[in-house]
Amino acid sequence: MTEFFGRHPGHEQLVFCADETSGLQAIIAISSTALGPALGGTRFHPYPSEDAAVADALNLSTAMAYKAALAGLALGGGKAVIIGDPDRDKTEPLLRAYGRFVESLNGRYITACDVGTYSPDMDVIAQESRHVTGRTVEQGGAGDSSVLTAFGVFQGMRACAEHRWGTPTLRGRRVGIAGVGKVGRHLIDHVLADGGEAVITDVSEAAVERVRQEHPEVDVVVDTMALVEADLDVYSPCALGGALDDTSVPRLRAGIVCGGANNQLAHPGIEKLLQDRGILYAPDYLVNAGGLIQVADELHGFDFGRAKARAARILDTTREVMQAADAEGVPPVVAADRLAERRMADAGRGRPLWLGGPAR
């Protein structure tokens, strides 16, 4: 089993959840509660091993802590993964068993949707736990969080366009979007409405066909590497993590990378490779915070206008990070990390461990 202490300093808690009757095998990772209870989605994915699932949960929970801090939320960072094929293994008994584990943490961890889980799944989990967001509108929730995730990514793109080309618009720019099932599908609407062009790819033919029906003017390429090598102004990874690696970055032709996927950098050092190539990278946990903002607003009685107004601030925060990166001579991801770490350190100084209870 993956060593926890030492390899992942700063993480507060790692919880293994198993229910033999339903087949549940899940892991909940809490990175930080310095700013408040840890909020983060539940990913349902057929991991090749328990170690791979643990690594994903830990990495994603750290990103959530930084994301909440940069978004100005009084929340910490957590993430959960359920090991299995959601199309085959997802059942009501399994989700309810998982909900009981979430409830056992007494609010230290608040769950929401992620890859492989949807708002109706949150309604099932909520039958066993009070600490659930991203619920359906019919159940008083915020609904699909990919709506404001895409809106926030678009704001990040505008800030990057301004930093690179002098004006906060994608008009006349060619944007490549990898993954159009959730966030990427909504992002296309923003790009086209702003006067940009969109090129897409997705492993799901159904997802591609759905976009073609809505936007016949969108170009389609065969796979992600074809998109990476395409003549683009902006590359937007919106599927699973690790999209930026030692193979893709040297072949990337876009001047800006700004997308909705989590953990886009395959390993430390990729941010320097991007900088050395003159590619402006918008840290994913900075620009994709709109979904977190949307589900966090649900904790206070959801108001879409209020949540959208907060997500619009991603434009200004991205500007701040890009300016700091230039001033300090570091990649934007380093500047974003420093900003998030300062906020967590300032808020958490002298504060006891968050033990649970209602979100503040």
Residue 79 annotated in active site: yes
Q: Supply the pLDDT for residue 346.
A: 86
Predicted pLDDT of residue 263:
86
What's residue 358's pLDDT? 53
Helix (H), strand (E), coil (C) string for 111-122: ECECCCCCHHHH
pLDDT of residue 306: 96
The pLDDT score that the predictor gives to residue 360 is: 41
Q: Which residues pair with 257 in a beta bridge?
A: 235, 281
Q: Which of 67, 79, 272, 308 is catalytic?
A: 79
Given this chain, do its domains 3-62+78-139 and 146-292+297-342 carry the same CATH topology? yes
- Tell me yes or no: is domain 146-292+297-342 CATH 3.40.50.720: yes
Query: Residues marked as binding?
Result: 179-184
Query: For the chain, what are the domain ranges?
Result: 3-62+78-139, 146-292+297-342
Average pLDDT over the chain, rounded to an integer: 93
Residue ranges in the chain whose pLDDT is less than 70: 1-9, 348-360
Digit-coded pLDDT (tens) for 154-181? 999 999 999 999 999 999 999 999 999 8
Which amino acids are annotated as binding site for NAD(+), given as ranges? Answer: 179-184
Is the domain spanning 3-62+78-139 CATH 3.40.50.10860? The answer is yes
Rounded to whole angstroms, how far apart are CA atoms 27 and 239? 21
> Is the Cβ–Cβ distance between 69 and 337 less than 8 Å?
no
